[in-house]
Amino acid sequence: MKPHLIQFTLNGEKVSLTVEPSDVLLDVLRGRLGIKSPKVGCDRGDCGTCTVLMDGKTVRSCLALAVEAHGADIVTLEGANSRKWTQKLQKKFHEKNAFQCGFCAPGVILSATELLEKDPNPTAHEIKEAIAGNLCRCTGYEPIVEAIEETVKGK
């Protein structure tokens, strides 16, 4: 299989690079582009630590081939601060001490960002559904849900 030239936007910047057909987006982001917020967790798409936004939707970058990013707009936590909800969410998560180790934080914040961009007034059930694909081994999820709810309410 021959390498492919792919081009996409990463956190507002145009990127052009050659990848192998089997290269995984997570490995390209971390290893070749120096993006560290998507983490290597389960490598099976179960834990959500590798979550990025691709064209506004959450994607498990450990499951996405790099060639799938061709022409896409990829946003990681490093570039998400220009989005309407991300900074508000980060501030509220910090205030509520919603995370302990922070390993899952980028994926949870991006999942919550996607939710609030689609629905700025979600129910608690919708919040739980939106973050269900992000495993947190440190908390009982309540501070995370509360932080998202308080972000919505502007408290």
Mean pLDDT of the 72-100 span: 92
> Do residues 31 and 93 both lie within one domain?
no
Give the pLDDT score at 155: 62
Look at residues 129, 117, 123 and name the one whose alpha carbon lies nearest to residue 88.
117
> Do residues 64 and 125 both lie within one domain?
no
Boundary (domain end) residue, out of 31, 60, 79: 79
How is residue 126 annotated by DSSP? H
> Do residues 99 and 130 both lie within one domain?
yes
> Do residues 107 and 63 both lie within one domain?
no
State how far the Cα of 68 lies from the Cα of 136, in Å rounded to an integer: 27
> Do residues 59 and 88 both lie within one domain?
no
State how far the Cα of 48 lies from the Cα of 58, in Å rounded to an integer: 9
> Do residues 89 and 38 both lie within one domain?
no
Mean pLDDT of the 15-30 span: 98
Q: Domain of residue 75: give its range.
A: 4-79
pTM of the model: 0.93
Give the pLDDT score at 137: 84
| Mean pLDDT score of the chain | 94
- CATH number of residue 107's parent domain: 1.10.150.120
Task: Report the number of distinct structural domains present in the chain.
Answer: 2
Give the pLDDT score at 47: 94
